[in-house]
Structure 1
């Protein structure tokens, strides 16, 4: 009985040691910049393919998360703003746990069409990039400068819960400061959203 009790304690202790992906830190370079990911168009893109003169915006998103849906307008505005400032944009869907359902390529294609996406919307196979970034939720933004170093990580605005009541566009401010050669004054914020649905 005593051995069984000790074995149970050891099992519980080991079970609690869940290995979480390390979170990308400010100043670190974008991981695996040449890895190709399949877009809804059938083409493949890497971060280096998409980056522009002033940098790259990487966003982890999906089709069905209520947080993504209610932030879609500010997201589209933010991503379009990045493009207007010569910053490339790529949106990754890492929800491998829903790939045969709500986050299938077909569902992604329809969603991107409905939202009039002007940037690659790619499949992150096996959530490899989400793991490399330590990304946790959708939507979650990572802004890289022209040298592909991370300068901002977090939410699109200061009010993901009620975007219409936002008073600061974190992403837009970060883009402006980056382009002006300044240090980003608020380089991290709390990204709020649905957890990325990795394969169990």
Structure 2
């Protein structure tokens, strides 16, 4: 049943043109309130992440590197898993020391709006707020084993003023656990 729901969601998702939603949330470690919308940055990169998923954790080093390499882009981690406690989430991301905020997605609102399915799952929006990529960070559920680096290649293209060579990539990882799951 979950596969059928996922297939229907992906089919519907592919038929729409998505724009960067205006959203807000508290950083899971500092509790600082953030509000996001289109920015003057070259791109906005939303990455759905998890405190317990080993697939998500295995991509954190690459996400750190990309956010440090592409300072002209806005990076935002999004935590939507309802089965992860506030304490374990705060501890994990404090230890991970990602150089960008990881906001709490209350009731998986943003995950539902964008159709995020797994962690890690990346969504890239251009300066106009148009979605130009969605999918996996890499072609592997274990970051260091990856052969293809979808997100990195998309960011390279945007930075070079080119159209991204990938529009979508398969997100491999742990399913986002929503409150109604």
| Partner SS for 2:122 | strand
1:117–1:147 Cα change, 3 Å: same
1:8 corresponds in structure 2 to: none
CA deviation digits over 1:55-102, x for unaligned, max 9? 2100111100121122222232233333x2x10011111112x1xxxx
Distance 1:167 1:193 in 2: 16
In 2, are the aligned partners of 1:26 and 1:149 still within 8 Å (CA)?
Answer: no
2:151 corresponds in structure 1 to: 171
Q: After TM superposition, give the deviation of residue 26 of structure 1 in Å.
A: 8.0
- TM-score calculated relative to the size of structure 1: 0.77
| Partner SS for 2:179 | coil
Q: After TM superposition, give the deviation of residue 52 of structure 1 in Å.
A: 4.7
Higher strand share: 2
Consecutive unaligned residues of structure 2, counting only runs of 5 or more, are none
- TM-score calculated relative to the size of structure 2: 0.84
Distance 2:19 2:137 in 1: 21
- Would you say 1:58 and 2:46 are equivalent positions? yes
Larger radius of gyration: 1
In 2, are the aligned partners of 1:25 and 1:150 still within 8 Å (CA)?
Answer: no
CA deviation digits over 1:12-53, x for unaligned, max 9? xxxx8898485377852112x1x321112122112228x452
Distance 2:19 2:177 in 1: 25
Q: After TM superposition, give the deviation of residue 110 of structure 1 in Å.
A: 1.4
- Would you say 1:150 and 2:131 are equivalent positions? yes
Number of matched pairs: 174
- Would you say 1:23 and 2:13 are equivalent positions? yes
1:23–1:47 Cα change, 3 Å: farther
2:74 corresponds in structure 1 to: 88
Of residues 90, 112, 116, the one that matches 2:97 is: 116
In 2, are the aligned partners of 1:24 and 1:134 still within 8 Å (CA)?
Answer: no
- Would you say 1:73 and 2:61 are equivalent positions? yes
